[in-house]
Chain A
């Protein structure tokens, strides 16, 4: 039992942190957000850090690194609320591709690792509301020739993606997990329409509208839902880590403000009403960090234990993010609600993270359903 990082992980952290601090400051981010929420240049710089292939297998030219390494990267990207879709591509999509047919997946994995391709999961639908098995998009066909029809929403970086990993119903009722298939769809083909828009957090997103769009099967039937669940749990762990980084930075910004801002002739940091709020914020931050570690360290467990742990983590993170975000805005007063100031942008990102891959109430339902007699880190 130890929570120390290796020297390699510390180096990884340093290199990402250096880039975020020097190469991705708030003004640059503002420009990127204004231009639609994705920068080719920034993506290339991320690729140059060597982290796009972090979890791409070595056979496909990647680093084949583990969950803790991903956590380290995500914490640092979170500190700078980087809008480029690192987790969506390098962690979530990569996991699904790894579970897929090699012929279809290997070239994609290689390109992801080289930073040349943006591949993202397009799963959420207007009525799915976090339920992974709820898929209305339909698929028909066989072998390699499939046709997909339906609409996916809030697809990360949808407007710039080179390929989509799309969940679609092969058979069964609308919430039948066994009937979900996972396919690869390329944009720019007949029946594939991408309606791009900015997201609330400044990143880019899109609706993906499919109308008898050509698709190839990525994951073999029978293994699809397990692969989807695993990829989403990897995504949850990544978001938890990103949120910890973002909260860390937001708290630091808030503390600095409280020590500088004067009212009634003294720094507002001297007021006990605010000091106790700061203590409560620190509490939520440290509980969140603890559960982010927990999420990452439980990714390797068997599916039931993994799912239980990740749901527990997302509940803690959801509650922490909302509390820390709201209170840090509040403690700033008026400046906190302005677009000009950074705090609001952190708050918006934290809010979107809560609503990605299952919000707090949804995951609480998971925890509730999956409770056992015993409880605890090792239960």
Chain B
């Protein structure tokens, strides 16, 4: 048992750190550090920079053009990019659909779709949830009917994150009503420029346009865009959910944001208020404990000796911590966060602003972060899964 990274791992970290320092545009990291909304161009610019280096698919094996890193290297990459203030990589392409295409796609599909994901040229969205299917995802109703060499898709997806930017969308669609709901679902890749697709914004309570409704009205999808077998889509979706286990905790971003909590608390004068400071101290303990739990999972993956089933715990804890740091930042600035200053948020951090923290986005971020315990399988669903593991049924 040893906490220390190996010399090779440390060297890897140094190389990654240097590369990020030299390649991450400062205007983008300034936005990230002050929780200012990123434009499509901001996100795409960073994605393409990573893509050129071959690191956008940082979790990919070498045979598909990825760097072939082990669990520790992936973690160090995530840590270095997060601490440097890089945007989270939009996961739908490189983290979510790509591993499914690698595992279950045909060689033609792999050749057709993976390069655009790896380079950052093609923006992918995720079509899972529907208005009537949230936690009970398997009840989804969007239908795909086979018509010769095409599927005809009708229905509606909801909560499609950044779907307004999407070039392609991977969807779970119903191809059968026989048997259990899970056994009639298929996994389709759909060009979002197809006739019959309408994307409508859903404005969230922070005023942001981050999620969308996507309507499918007699959308024709070539049958060669079906992944794997018809009616086996649920298995592929489960594979996808199991794929990124530690990433979901986002502990590296939590470390960066905890530093920011401290900066804001100091600037706002509550750092010396023992009651407030103790709340930061509690969050610090939470962050260290989460990081240790993540490292335990990584170590188990690296050695392959012991299996650790704590993925559900990582999601629950990571999301709670995200909410807590956004909450503490807002509370640190207190009344200064009450004015709704969209103008200041849009203008971003100005050097001539008062010596305090940039407080304009803090309340909006807090409101926005309520999503974290709801998306990706609500924390209540995660608790069901954890309980099943512990209780054995």
Closest to B255 in A: A376
Residues of B within 8 A of A298 (CB): 3
Q: Is the CB of B391 within 8 A of A375?
A: no
How many of A's residues come within 8 Å of B, CB to CB?
Answer: 45
Asked whether, in the complex, the Cβ of A375 is within 8 Å of the Cβ of B259, the reply is yes
Q: Does B242 contact A (CB under 8 A)?
A: no
Contacts of A2 in B (CB 8 A): 1-2, 299, 302-303
Interface residues of B in 303-349 (CB under 8 A from A): 303, 305-306, 310, 312-313, 316-317
Interface membership of B262, Cβ < 8 A: yes
| A-side contacts of B390, CB under 8 Å | 251, 255, 278-279, 281-282
A258 interfacial contact with B, CB 8 Å: yes
**Across the A-B interface, how many residue pairs have beta carbons closer than 8 Å?**
146
Query: Is B30 an interface residue when CB atoms closer than 8 A count as contact?
Result: no
Q: Which residue of A lies closest to B310 (CB)?
A: A286
Interface size class of B (residues with CB under 8 A): 35 or more
Give every chain A residue within 8 A of B353 (Cβ-Cβ): none
For residue B383, CB closer than 8 A to chain A, the reply is: yes
Among A138-146, A212-220, A364-372, the stretch in contact with B: A364-372
- CB of B289 within 8 A of CB of A4, answer no
User: How far apart sit A272 and B288, CA to CA, in the bound complex (Å)?
Assistant: 30
Whether A5 contacts B289 in the complex (CB less than 8 A), given A279-B383, A280-B383, A286-B313, comes out as no
Known contacts A2-B299, A316-B285, A368-B281; A375 and B317 CB within 8 A of each other: no
Q: For the complex, is A294 an interface residue (Cβ under 8 Å from B)?
A: yes
Asked if B299 and A371 make an inter-chain contact with CB atoms under 8 angstroms apart, the answer reads no
Q: Which of B41-49, B58-66, B229-237, B290-298 contacts A (4 or more CB under 8 A)?
A: B290-298
Name B276's closest neighbour in chain A (CB-CB): A368
Is B258 part of the contact surface with A, judged by Cβ < 8 Å?
Answer: yes
Query: Contact: B262 with A291, CB < 8 Å?
Result: no
Interface string of B249-289 (1 = CB under 8 A from A): 00000010011001000000000001001101110110111
Nearest B residue (CB) for A72: B1
A280 to B259, CA, bound (A): 27
Per-position contact with B for A275-290: 1 when CB-CB < 8 Å, else 0? Answer: 1101111110011001
| B393 in the interface (beta carbon within 8 A) | yes
Query: Can you report 9 A-B residue pairs in the complex whose CB atoms are below 8 A from each other?
Result: A68-B1, A283-B313, A286-B310, A298-B3, A316-B285, A367-B284, A368-B274, A374-B255, A375-B258
Closest 5 CB pairs of A and B: A290-B292, A275-B387, A279-B383, A279-B386, A368-B281
Binding site for B on A (CB under 8 A): 1-5, 9, 68, 251, 255, 258-259, 269, 272, 275-276, 278-283, 286-287, 290-291, 293-294, 296-298, 312, 315-316, 364-365, 367-368, 371, 373-379
New A-B contacts (7) at CB < 8 Å, excluding given A1-B5, A287-B289: A2-B1, A269-B393, A275-B388, A275-B391, A286-B293, A368-B281, A374-B255
